[in-house]
Homo-oligomer: A and B are copies of this chain.
């Protein structure tokens, strides 16, 4: 089995071969420039920029691997900002001894997901560190998107009665990773929901003007994401627990393991505040898309404030309780 050696990261002949035989082979565009940077024409006057490092453990899991996760995560951060994802950079930190076949598979998965999401990988970097200095492979992706006026989000328009919509079941990615670790002796069929949201979101914002704000509920899960929205934009949300879509096997795994699916990471879901006049149309559009078929209105804005607001959860038995952001350790290296 061929393995990555320290020399692959030295900037010399082996680095050159690695870039040519693996990265250019899969990504095409990368490193084709003869400058030290990729040079890109920009069709808009405004861009969106986001960065994320991926340290998921294990690197391969049901529903994907670190490669598609690194593409979808960054594509989604751009898409939920109202931007059209355009290009991505990829920085690899690889442990000496990492199997070259695994690297090829990951790079191929990235290339496939980038093609699906219609983004180009335009610049890259590879570092190799000694055995024991990194756990296998970490990837950073940074994304640049174009902002077009007609897709601009309107958080300043948020008002009482606006609907809170989530595009599908929550907690799938978290449970898939837990299951892949088998640390807890848990084996389920749950796959990660890892998916690029930009096509679905583009369809939505083309049709509907009432999308106020969007977020993708990754680390910290749906609950933390909603708490942050309440704090950032000064409103109170009341969410009705019975409308939150959760797969039976995800809920079951959480019950056994003592996790709350509202705090588990998702990698292919969007939560949004939408003008109540647009909520039916929004649901229809989301549900017409394969990755949005379980979309649901889960709650509404009940008050605006001039101070950070709160997230309230109405339980099936009729009581209401406040939810806080995730506190303390839950699931390291979930993404």
Find chain B residues with CB under 8 A from A80 CB. Answer: 35-36
- Interface of chain A: mostly helix, strand, loop or mixed: mixed
Interface size class of A (residues with CB under 8 A): 35 or more
Is A198's CB within 8 Å of the partner chain B? no
Least CB distance from A315 to B in Å reads 22
What is the count of identical protomers in the complex?
2
Stretch from A81-89, A108-116, A182-190 forming part of the interface with B: A81-89
Least CB distance from A326 to B in Å reads 3
In the complex, the answer to whether B50 meets A11 with C-beta atoms within 8 Å is: no
Least CB distance from A140 to B in Å reads 4
Given contacts A13-B324, A129-B333, A325-B13, is CB(A90)–CB(B51) below 8 Å?
yes
Stretch from A217-225, A250-258, A289-297 forming part of the interface with B: A217-225
Interface centre among A39, A44, A153, by most B CB within 10 Å? A39
Is A319's CB within 8 Å of the partner chain B? no
Find chain B residues with CB under 8 A from A316 CB. Answer: none
In the complex, the answer to whether B133 meets A37 with C-beta atoms within 8 Å is: no
Least CB distance from A115 to B in Å reads 19
CA–CA, A51 and B38, complex, Å: 10
Least CB distance from A79 to B in Å reads 9
In the complex, the answer to whether A329 meets B10 with C-beta atoms within 8 Å is: yes
Given contacts A224-B11, A324-B13, is CB(A147)–CB(B39) below 8 Å?
yes
- CB-contacts of A1-54 with B (<8 A): 5-7, 9-16, 34-42, 44-54
In the complex, the answer to whether B13 meets A329 with C-beta atoms within 8 Å is: no
Interface centre among A37, A44, A140, A147, by most B CB within 10 Å? A37
In the complex, the answer to whether A49 meets B53 with C-beta atoms within 8 Å is: no
Is A106's CB within 8 Å of the partner chain B? no
In the complex, the answer to whether A93 meets B45 with C-beta atoms within 8 Å is: no
**Residues of A in contact with B (beta carbons under 8 Å apart):** 5-7, 9-16, 34-42, 44-55, 57, 76-78, 80-83, 87, 89-93, 122-125, 127-130, 132-135, 138, 140, 142-145, 147, 153, 155, 213, 215-216, 218-220, 224, 232-233, 265, 324-333
Interchain Cβ contacts under 8 Å between A and B, 17 examples: A6-B329, A10-B219, A12-B220, A12-B328, A14-B327, A34-B232, A36-B77, A36-B215, A37-B49, A42-B44, A49-B87, A50-B123, A51-B125, A51-B142, A52-B125, A53-B93, A132-B135
Q: A37-B78, A127-B333 are in contact. List 8 more A-B contacts (CB 8 A).
A: A11-B265, A37-B50, A37-B145, A49-B89, A51-B123, A89-B142, A129-B135, A130-B333
